[in-house]
Structure 1
Amino acid sequence: MQKQLPYRLKPKQNLVSNDKKSKKEGDTLVSKHTVVMLEPHESKVNRLMKVLDVVNKDRIKTNRKVAHERHKKHKLEVRNAEMMREIGIKKSKKANCRLMSKREQSKVRKAIDSTSK
């Protein structure tokens, strides 16, 4: 019957008893503080891997810095473009209003001239 259940619903059984757990905890403590002597080839490989890790972290850091600078530059360009667009809109509105005002004035003048004649 348990075989038919999906994995997440199957009951989990503790394979390790409490005695084994206490031994494992002691083993991890000992293994943490025990010096492991590496073969010469292994130590060279280990040093190489550490150097490669440092190089990779440095490369990632510089790439992030460059990307951040590029993002700031792009943001500034977008802001400037938006300001220029708004200035252009204001200029066109001003020109349109001036044109409408001149048309209105000419209509008023024509009306005055036609009534005075």
Structure 2
Amino acid sequence: MVQLAAHVAVSSPLRNAARGRQQTVYEGLRLPGPPVALQAGRWLVGWGCADPAPAPGCRDRGLFIAFDVETERLFLMLVEQGAPVYLAPPRTGHWPAALAPAFDEFAPGLPRGPVFDQD
């Protein structure tokens, strides 16, 4: 995820979204997780998790990042002590349906998780 975050189109929105949580976000970028993948032909998605295996997904501490290569929109969430911290968009924003499968791998059943748009 570090390479994704370093990209010019991502780095500025990431800094703005992290607002006061930069250290936690930058640590999250280095957490173990699957490689960044392209979802639905336009979303670069990655996540990292500090939780020990074999529990599925993040339960305690992790970072989820998705970047729309068409509109340059960023979706970013931290999980801290099992609770979501919405950074981009804020809690009231809906997330694109295309991100639901990747998020479900990241944090299945997360209480107060994002609301995904319907296709």
TM-score by length of 2: 0.14
Bigger share in strand: 2
Higher relative contact order (CA 8 A, sep 6+): 2
Bigger share in helix: 1
TM-score by length of 1: 0.14
